Amino acid sequence: AQSVAQPEDQVNVAEGNPLTVKCTYSVSGNPYLFWYVQYPNRGLQFLLKYITGDNLVKGSYGFEAEFNKSQTSFHLKKPSALVSDSALYFCAVTTNSGYSTLTFGKGTMLLVSP
Amino acid sequence: ETGVTQTPRHLVMGMTNKKSLKCEQHLGHNAMYWYKQSAKKPLELMFVYSLEERVENNSVPSRFSPECPNSSHLFLHLHTLQPEDSALYLCASSRQDRGANYGYTFGSGTRLTVV
């Protein structure tokens, strides 16, 4: 079985400050990890993914995430937050062994204040 | 546009109505999914189609009936719904290769209100 934990329901940060949205995962086998963002009444938009290779992954809109195998984490980061980054963020995991769907975390609301 | 198109964007229906949600992808993906997103609840996986075969059905009530006539189209037929079925219904597609899933592309969703 695979699972994802996003321990924070909400993250508040001031514009211009760095932001981190946390994600930890559990899978059997090698993890494939994803971050998605959702704006109100819209579908989820892909931000970035880790499949293999460099542990630091860069994605859309200046976001990046670091794969940490020993801590089973894949935290989303951005050096300088924008008000327009305010949205709901989902972490997801799957594995390369056998047929699999993505398992999503419950989501973290990011609020960036001006 | 993401390459996955859902219609309609908004739907209001009575509990005795029959309606269908449509999803179309032109990304060459070979798997399609229906998710339900309700307020303050996690995403719920409803149905999975891989190579046009339904491979997963997560205990969804029979008033929801999926159809996948080809790899580019997915429908969700609705009948005699309940008010608690009001939600955002999301379609997604992905490429599955020897079991590995390389991530989903989502549509914009259909906001369904049952009155």
Give the three-class secondary structure for B3: coil
Q: How are beta strands A44-50 and B87-97 bridged, if at all?
A: unpaired
Residues of chain A with Cβ-Cβ distance to B86 below 8 Å are none
> What average pLDDT score do residues A55-64 get?
94
> What average pLDDT score do residues A3-13 get?
96
pLDDT at B59: 82
> What average pLDDT score do residues A42-53 get?
91
pLDDT at A98: 60
pLDDT at B99: 64
pLDDT at B89: 97
Taking only the tens place, the pLDDT of each residue in B42-88 is 899 999 998 767 777 778 999 999 999 998 999 999 999 999 999 99
Pairwise CB contact (< 8 Å): A34 & B4? no
Contact of A72 with chain B, judged by CB distance below 8 Å, is answered with no
DSSP symbol at B1: -
- CA dist., res. B93 & res. B73, Å (int): 10
Taking only the tens place, the pLDDT of each residue in A9-21 is 999 999 999 999 9
Instruction: Compute φ and ψ for B29, nearest 5 degrees.
Output: -75, 160
Residues of chain A with Cβ-Cβ distance to B88 below 8 Å are 41
Contact B46, B54 (CB under 8 A): no
A14 CB contacts (<8 Å, ≥6 apart)?
A: A81, A112, A113
